[in-house]
RNA sequence: GGACAGGUGGCUGAGCGGUUGAAAGCACCGGUCUCGAAAACCGGCGUACCCGCAAGGGUAUCGUGAGUUCGAAUCUCACCCUGUCCGCCA
């Protein structure tokens, strides 16, 4: 969420930011409306506060006179009249604020200066690592998996519906291996605090990180309790310090959490849905960092490096893509996608999305820090990214490491976890 | 799920419906003292928003939301959360 002052003082800047996202046309009427509401809000606020001040003074006078044994009937009448006015003005103010906040909650973050403007055709490949394997003679992961019995899509569909997978045998083992390899690496080598958080969160948490209110349809909701299945561990982990002020000396803070992720993927049927590329439930290890504003870009670079280290460790060729403003997520100010090369599918698959959210989430979730004993609290910057998402990583492994005999070589770093050097 | 108890400022902890933004203590900040520190003493010390160039002024805030009242931390209702006990259970 943006600072309401932005609407009053830097609306042009906000407009330009929306233009860079290609969202200005859609949002311009809302911004105009916001500007009007902001003015109305202030004038109503002044009017109502003036009357409240008068009422407070009158009430004090009533108290004084009653103590003196007097009759304050006329004062009480004045105060009551003020009270009625206040009631009306307060109601108007509430209406204006509700609409204002409603709009503000649905305006995306402003991207940083070095993010290219425009749609995804303006994305920039920042770097590539490794040598993509030729697709010649490489079978797609779903064929290999079927041959080896690694996952069971049919029975997943029977249990839950399409888009739910049952991993079996070495497939299941591979999931567990990735979980341990990723978490161990980030905790032991990259200095993250290990976190194991709830997979179900409340509405406030979802608003805090920006999933709500705009994207409620994308989440699984437990209506009875108004709770949501998390689409990523980013939600519970970022919200750990919601409505808190942390000691500035503790920044940066770094958290690493494995979690299942649940996504309705409403409206995305048919898009990259083959095999395990887009499913309703998958597993992911998430990295989250809290930073001092001046340091958030450095923290993003560090986090990106930690995610990249996983792909290098696995020996999977990948590239780093800086997303253009129009391709950058709602809450993000800057995002790098990590894409792994899947030779069987013949495509680059997104396995991580590393973002700097600046103070956008912190303002929503009210996460602040005190720079020093004497300074006022400021909003932290939040940074996060996958390190990594499992299904596409598994797809890439199966394809990159497949051998002519149909078996799959287990990446060196996973062998201790998988227990073998070949999936047969 | 049931029965009690309780939610006050960074912490502990007072608070007859009327100068209570809220006693007191601790913590913290500034100062005096000291070679320095501690102790002692003096002063300060929440947050958000509005008006104002500023000085300053105003409003709100005692779990959340409604309500009663001229006036609510104090009364009423609903909800949320915490603790204890019972039930159930991996």
Give 3-state DSSP helix, strand, coil % of chain A, rounded to 5. 50, 20, 30
Encoded tokens for A42: 């202030």
Cβ–Cβ < 8 Å for A182, A285: yes
pLDDT tens, residue by residue, A336-393:
999 999 999 999 999 999 999 999 999 999 999 988 887 888 999 999 999 999 999 9
Does the pLDDT value for residue A269 go beyond 70? no
Task: Verify if strand B has an atom below 7 Å from the CB of A56.
Answer: yes
Distance CA A8, CA A384 (A): 30
pLDDT tens, residue by residue, A170-216:
999 999 999 999 999 999 999 999 999 999 999 999 999 999 989 99
**Closest alpha carbon to A399 in A134, A170, A169:** A134
Q: How confident is the model at residue A159 (pLDDT cuts 50, 70, 90)?
A: very high
Task: Verify if strand B has an atom below 7 Å from the CB of A155.
Answer: no
What is the SS3 assignment for A193? strand
Does the pLDDT value for residue A249 go beyond 80? yes
Contacts of A146 (CB under 8 A, 6+ apart): none
Task: Verify if strand B has an atom below 7 Å from the CB of A44.
Answer: no
Q: Nearest nt (C1') to A202 (CA)?
A: B80
Q: Nearest nt (C1') to A377 (CA)?
A: B47
Task: Verify if strand B has an atom below 7 Å from the CB of A200.
Answer: no
Distance CA A236, CA A229 (A): 10
Q: CA at A52, C1' at B59: how many angstroms apart?
A: 7
- Could you give all domains of chain A from N- to C-terminal order, each with its CATH number? 4-104 (1.10.287.40), 120-423 (3.30.930.10)
């Amino acid at each position: 969420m943006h600072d309401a002052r932005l609407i009053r003082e830097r609306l042009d800047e906000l407009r330009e930011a929306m233009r860079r996202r290609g969202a200005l046309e859609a949002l311009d009427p809302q911004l105009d409306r916001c500007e009007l509401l902001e003015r109305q809000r202030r004038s109503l606020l002044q009017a109502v506060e003036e009357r409240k001040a008068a009422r407070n003074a009158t009430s004090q006078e009533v108290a004084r006179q009653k103590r003196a044994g007097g009759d304050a009937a006329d004062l009480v009448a004045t105060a009551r009249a003020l009270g009625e006015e206040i009631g009306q003005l307060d109601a108007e103010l509430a209406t204006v604020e509700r609409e204002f906040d409603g709009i503000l909650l649905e305006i995306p973050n402003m991207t940083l200066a070095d993010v290219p403007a425009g749609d995804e055709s303006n994305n920039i490949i920042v770097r590539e690592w490794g040598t993509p394997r030729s697709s010649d003679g490489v079978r797609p992961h779903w064929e290999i998996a079927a041959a080896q019995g690694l996952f069971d899509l049919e029975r997943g569909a029977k249990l839950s519906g399409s888009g739910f997978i049952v991993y079996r045998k070495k497939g299941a083992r591979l999931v567990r291996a990735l979980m341990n390899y990723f978490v161990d690496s980030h905790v032991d080598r990259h200095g993250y605090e290990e976190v194991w958080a709830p997979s179900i969160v409340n509405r406030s948490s979802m608003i805090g990180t920006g999933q709500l209110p705009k994207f409620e349809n994308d989440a699984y909701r437990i209506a009875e309790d108004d709770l949501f299945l998390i689409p990523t561990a980013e939600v519970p982990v970022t919200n750990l310090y919601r409505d808190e002020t942390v000691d500035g000396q503790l920044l940066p803070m770094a958290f690493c959490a494995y979690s299942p992720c649940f996504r309705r993927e409403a409206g995305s049927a048919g898009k990259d849905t083959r095999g395990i590329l887009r499913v309703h439930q998958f597993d992911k290890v998430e990295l989250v960092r809290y930073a001092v504003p001046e340091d958030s870009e450095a923290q993003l670079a560090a986090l990106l490096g930690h995610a990249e280290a996983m792909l290098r460790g696995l020996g999977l060729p990948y590239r780093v893509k800086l997303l253009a403003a129009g391709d950058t997520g709602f809450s993000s100010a800057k995002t790098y996608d990590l894409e792994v090369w899947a030779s069987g599918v013949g495509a680059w698959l997104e396995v991580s999305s590393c973002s700097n959210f600046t103070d956008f989430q912190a303002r929503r979730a009210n996460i602040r820090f005190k720079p020093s004993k004497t300074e006022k609290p400021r909003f932290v910057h939040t940074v996060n990214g996958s390190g990594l998402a499992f299904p596409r990583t598994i797809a890439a492994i199966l394809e990159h490491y497949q051998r002519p005999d149909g078996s799959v070589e287990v990446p060196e770093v996973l062998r201790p976890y998988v227990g073998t050097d070949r999936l047969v």
